[in-house]
Amino acid sequence: MTLELFIQYIFAGITYGAIYAIVAIGFNIIYNTTGIINFAQGEFVMLGGMISISLIEYLNLPAAIALAVVITMIIGALVEIIFIRWLQGPSVLRMIIITIGVSILIREAALHIWGESVRSLPYFIGDEITSVSILGAHISPQVFCVLAVCTVMMLLLGVFFKTTSVGREMRACAANSTAAILCGINTRNMVTLSFVLSAAIGALAGAVMSPITYSQYNIGTGLAIKGFTVAILGGLGSSGGAVIAGLLLGIIEAFSVSVLPLAFQEAISIAILLLILFIRPHGLFGSKDAAGLKQF
Amino acid sequence: MMKKYLPFLPLIAFVVCVHLLTSWTGTLYYLTQMTMSAYYALLIIGLCVVMGYAGQISLGHAGFFAIGGYLSAALTTRNLLPFEDTAVLRMLDALGVLMKGQDIYGEVIVVITPWAACITAVCVAALLAFFIGVPALKLKGHYLAMATLGFGIIIYRVVLASEYFGEADGISEVPPFVLAGSLAVSGDFSERISNYYIAWVLVIAGVVLLRNLIDSRVGRALRAIHGAEDAAGSMGVDTARYKLHVFVLSAVFAAIAGVFMTHYNGSIGPSEAGVMKSVRYVAIVAVGGMAHLWGALIMAIILNFLSLRGVFGSYDDAVFGLILIVIMLFAPNGLLRINLRSKLQAFFSRAKRAEEV
Amino acid sequence: MALLRLEKLHKRFGGLKAVNDVSFAVNEGQIKAVIGPNGAGKTTLFNLIAGSLPASSGSITFKKWQLRRKKSYQIAALGIARTFQNIKMFNGMTALENVMVGRHVRSGAGFLSSMFHTPWARREEKEIRDRSMELLDLLDIAECADVEATSLAFGQQRAVELARALALEPDLILLDEPAAGLNIYETAEMGRLITRIRDLGITVLLVEHDMSLVMDISDEIVVLSFGEKISEGLPSEIQNDPEVIKIYLGE
């Protein structure tokens, strides 16, 4: 393998990895406040991409993306308010089935709105042939846009959870929701907020990745599976772990293309998921004792 | 003793009535969808025992159906003539599991007999269920759901990507499955009525077997695992083993359904392995009331029949998604045990309270 | 003769020593009680014996078997039954069915004989049902046999749980706070019941908060505090042990 090709693969891996990490963090935010894995997480990413593509006909790029993110946030809030909020002590099985149902509804709605066609946003800088040369490898500027947006998003999330009072309240719910209620925190609103937040980051990631990966009504399931793989790999609930695991999975996937036919690429990441679930369900970095305390 | 088999009388009467009614009104073509619905029902009652009684979710059962269907289709259609002089083929010939067939161009080919293919396919499905089940069933809740979903997607990707399984086109021209004498599973119109009864005999046998299982020592152990897994363990139930065995059993049901359906249709395509199919089976078990074998059977027949008749049009998948949500929100114990009015009242009063908070 | 022997048993949760170097023996035909303040590690100790939690180190010998690396279902099959502090009924099953699960290790029908309902499986099923009914009778809750167990009154659920444990025909029964939530009459009744269980030839190890019950029925008592055994002896000795009085009444 030449150095150029190697760097090409590394960048492709990091780009996809960053997206997977964002999806995984979306899983984590909701999981931490509710103990639910939201199977519709991938659909938020799809919506971000598809809505901004539709809006670009009327608005300029930043406005289209911003509006798409806002619309997806509203959808996230609605999902929580309509389907989750009023359930009292639902079983895990019930929650799984409900969020799967939600993901199907969103996907089918997308199919009827946008059809089966593959779409994408225009490149933010230049076009598909513009490239930056790094050590002889040609990297699209869009890759840097994706990386920059993902990095900023993660940093902002970190700041939000660490320093703002709302962020701290959300963390309190995650640690112990009963105690949080006793401290006067409205946990129900925190749950809604967690859906809104993860819808927002999913949608933004979906919009910035669209020029490279393209958007279609059915990309959600694949992204959700990979995001979940990353969330598990990094230890469910840990955002730092998710970033490392995301980059790891992205790079493994990118290099697997050079060994295996493209058709099996998705099978690879799922095989990794199964392997991790079977060998270390508490993740690469998580501790077994802590995992034992989680309600599974 | 007789009481136990009493509920089967209306079912048998229903099956016969549908036949008589359709033949009387000249609408025998309905029997085709009824036959296919019956095969799906066979898979669904197996899944019902895993989900409803043992409490383990599986989002990968379309995978087992596809393994059954695809393997029997491939083995009975793929020409083995090029391997004529190999020891393996001579051995197969000596075992009497080879037969002559015709490909789409009318050329003579040598293939595996449907019986041998069926047994192979079911065994492979059972083995895969075993090897997936050993690690997967140690997981709970979301983890198990994702693991089985992942398994289903891998099967889908493999059939879609391998030439042996016909890639996106699937496998067609699957020969009839001669069970005995002139009794054969095939899509031939002249055999529509006999095929209808073959399917239903299978389903009724399946329900009898599973009913017996549920009312036995094993069934109680499974329900105990669902009720309180740690307490079941301290009562001496080897929870891991029982979960595994019931998972394998349901995979066998799914694979048999796949084999018969494929011979009946004469073909199989990748959509049978799709995630949406697995989700659909889960939805039907949920609508039937989870721990309710008869409910699962009734809903399997009704919903599959409607879907196969094309009643839902292009909203087919959306309908099943909606069913899933509505059932889980309002009637987690199934449609047959719902008290609609009190549920709606509870929903609105709760929603109101939630807003006030 | 010692039926159950714990030697230098340890259980750590991270830095917390929930059970610390505990050793004692339970003799055949005894009623032995484990007492101690909240958080003394009594329930953890039970979970270690029953195999619900793995011990960090030490040994647990039952008859001639080492239990430490065995799973809970294997320990049950050797003849140790248990009840839970916060009653664990099997949801969706009747009281009778709950007790019938208790016969699991004393019966053997597998998947195939169950599915095909062989004459042998049918005979065994009848035996399971009859034996379970007898036990419900013994505990005076036969009339609840066909009621869903989780909808029974608290005291009745406790009785079903006890019947379920007895259905296993154990040599040793572990009772985790059998009198919790019972009024004084029911507690006295429970005391008589435990004595009767012992008279059936079953050795009893119990964790209990109700001191009058413990002093009444126990042959021997072990006192735990912060995971350590601080005293062991006859009820009269324990009552006068200054160490024990100190932890219960403070200094």
**Binary contact (A97, B143; C-beta < 8 A):** no
Is the pLDDT at B336 greater than 80? The verdict is: no
Q: What's the token pair of residue C229?
A: 């055994």
Is the pLDDT at A22 greater than 70? The verdict is: yes
- pLDDT, tens digit (0-9, with 9 covering 90-100), for B90-149: 888 888 888 887 777 778 888 899 999 999 999 999 999 999 888 888 887 778 888 898
Mutate which: A108, A111, A257, vs B, most B CBs within 10 A: A108
Q: What backbone torsions phi and psi does residue B108 show, to the nearest 5 degrees? A: -80, 130
Residue B148 and residue B128 in contact, taking contact as beta carbons nearer than 8 Å: no
**What SS3 state is found at C226?**
coil
Higher pLDDT residue, A296 or A144?
A144
Question: What's the confidence (pLDDT) of residue A295?
Answer: 38
Residue B110 and residue B88 in contact, taking contact as beta carbons nearer than 8 Å: no
Of the CA atoms within 13 Å of residue A281, those in its CB half-sphere come to: 21
**Shortest CA distance from A85: residue in chain B:** B354
Is the pLDDT at B47 greater than 90? The verdict is: yes
Question: What's the confidence (pLDDT) of residue B343?
Answer: 57
Residue C221 and residue C46 in contact, taking contact as beta carbons nearer than 8 Å: no
* pLDDT bracket for residue A296 (50, 70, 90): very low
* pLDDT bracket for residue A161 (50, 70, 90): confident
If you search the block for the tokens 């089918």, which residue do you land on? A108
CA distance B315 to chain A (A): 8
**Residue C41 buriedness (CB in 10 A; 0-12 / 13-18 / 19+):** buried
- pLDDT, tens digit (0-9, with 9 covering 90-100), for B176-224: 998 888 888 988 888 889 999 999 999 999 999 999 999 999 999 999 9
Question: What's the confidence (pLDDT) of residue B2?
Answer: 60
If you search the block for the tokens 């996809």, which residue do you land on? A16
In terms of Cα–Cα distance, which of B223, B222, B259, B227 is closest to B241? B222
Minimum mean pLDDT range among A150-164, A177-191, C1-15, C28-42: A177-191
First to last CA, chain A: 44
Type of residue found at A241 = G
Minimum mean pLDDT range among A173-182, B23-32, C61-70: A173-182
Give the other-Cβ count within 10 Å of B97's Cβ: 18
**Binary contact (A105, B145; C-beta < 8 A):** no
Is the pLDDT at A51 greater than 90? The verdict is: yes
Q: What backbone torsions phi and psi does residue A61 show, to the nearest 5 degrees? A: -55, -55
Instruction: Write out chain C residues lying below 8 Å of B246, CB-based.
Output: 111
Is the pLDDT at A80 greater than 50? The verdict is: yes
State how far the Cα of B58 lies from the Cα of C50, in Å rounded to an integer.
Answer: 31
A275 touches chain B (CB under 8 A): no
Mutate which: C114, C128, C162, vs B, most B CBs within 10 A: C114
Please give the average per-residue pLDDT across A29-53, as a whole number. 90
- pLDDT, tens digit (0-9, with 9 covering 90-100), for C203-236: 999 998 888 899 999 999 999 988 899 999 999 9
Residue B183 and residue B194 in contact, taking contact as beta carbons nearer than 8 Å: yes
B134 touches chain C (CB under 8 A): no
If you search the block for the tokens 């005979």, which residue do you land on? C123
| B288 to B22, B299, B307, B349: CA distances (angstroms) | 26, 6, 16, 27
In terms of Cα–Cα distance, which of A49, A76, A70, A20 is closest to A241? A20
Bridge-based pairing state of the strands C31-35 and C203-207: parallel
**Binary contact (B217, C111; C-beta < 8 A):** no
Instruction: Write out chain A residues lying below 8 Å of B142, CB-based.
Output: 37, 92, 96, 296
| A160 to A31, A266, C195: CA distances (angstroms) | 17, 34, 62
* pLDDT bracket for residue C175 (50, 70, 90): very high
State how far the Cα of B132 lies from the Cα of A101, in Å rounded to an integer.
Answer: 25
Higher pLDDT residue, B146 or B74?
B74
**What SS3 state is found at C64?**
coil
Ranges assigned E (strand) in chain B: 98-102, 108-112, 177-180, 183-185
Q: Which helix (H) or strand (E) holds C206?
A: strand C203-207
- Which positions ≥6 away from B312 have C-beta within 8 Å? B306, B318, B319
Give the other-Cβ count within 10 Å of C58's Cβ: 17
Is the pLDDT at B246 greater than 90? The verdict is: yes
Is the pLDDT at B348 greater than 70? The verdict is: no
Instruction: Write out chain C residues lying below 8 Å of B213, CB-based.
Output: 111, 114-115
Instruction: Write out chain B residues lying below 8 Å of A295, CB-based.
Output: 141
Residue A252 and residue A13 in contact, taking contact as beta carbons nearer than 8 Å: yes
Instruction: Write out chain A residues lying below 8 Å of B157, CB-based.
Output: 263-264, 266-267, 270
State how far the Cα of C69 lies from the Cα of C189, in Å rounded to an integer.
Answer: 37
Question: What's the confidence (pLDDT) of residue B357?
Answer: 43
Instruction: Write out chain B residues lying below 8 Å of C164, CB-based.
Output: 235
CA distance C183 to chain B (A): 25
- pLDDT, tens digit (0-9, with 9 covering 90-100), for C17-40: 899 999 999 999 999 999 988 888
* CA dihedral over A175, A179, A183, A189, signed as positive or negative: positive
State how far the Cα of A204 lies from the Cα of A16, in Å rounded to an integer.
Answer: 14
The alpha carbon torsion through A280, A284, A286, A292 (nearest 10 deg) reads 0
Residue B102 and residue B109 in contact, taking contact as beta carbons nearer than 8 Å: yes
State how far the Cα of B40 lies from the Cα of B264, in Å rounded to an integer.
Answer: 12
Question: What's the confidence (pLDDT) of residue B349?
Answer: 63
CA distance B37 to chain A (A): 22
- pLDDT, tens digit (0-9, with 9 covering 90-100), for A91-132: 777 888 889 899 999 999 999 999 988 888 888 877 777 777
Looking at residue C148, the DSSP 8-state letter turns out to be: B
Of A101, A186, A264, Cβ closest to residue B324? A101
Mutate which: B162, B329, B345, B350, vs A, most A CBs within 10 A: B329
Longest Cα–Cα distance of chain C, Å, equals 67
Residue A248 and residue A233 in contact, taking contact as beta carbons nearer than 8 Å: yes
Q: Which helix (H) or strand (E) holds B64?
A: helix B61-77
Question: What's the confidence (pLDDT) of residue C218?
Answer: 94
DSSP sequence for B113-154: -HHHHHHHHHHHHHHHHHHHHHHHTTS-HHHHHHHHHHHHHH
* pLDDT bracket for residue C251 (50, 70, 90): low
DSSP sequence for chain A: --HHHHHHHHHHHHHHHHHHHHHHHHHHHHHHHHS---TTHHHHHHHHHHHHHHHTTTS-HHHHHHHHHHHHHHHHHHHIIIIITT--S--HHHHHHHHHHHHHHHHHHHHHHHTT--B-PPPSSS-TT--EEETTEEE-HHHHHHHHHHHHHHHHHHHHHHHSHHHHHHHHHHH-HHHHHHTT--HHHHHHHHHHHHHHHHHHHHHHHHHHH-B-TT-HHHHHHHHHHHHHHT-TT-HHHHHHHHHHHHHHHHHHTTTS-GGGHHHHHHHHHHHHHHH-TT-SSS-HHHHHHS--
State how far the Cα of A237 lies from the Cα of A189, in Å rounded to an integer.
Answer: 20
Q: Which chains form contacts with chain A, at 3 or more CB pairs under 8 Å?
A: B
Q: What's the token pair of residue B312?
A: 């839902």
**Binary contact (B212, C84; C-beta < 8 A):** no
Question: What's the confidence (pLDDT) of residue A109?
Answer: 93
How many Å separate Cα B37 from the centre of its chain?
Answer: 10
If you search the block for the tokens 């955002």, which residue do you land on? A239
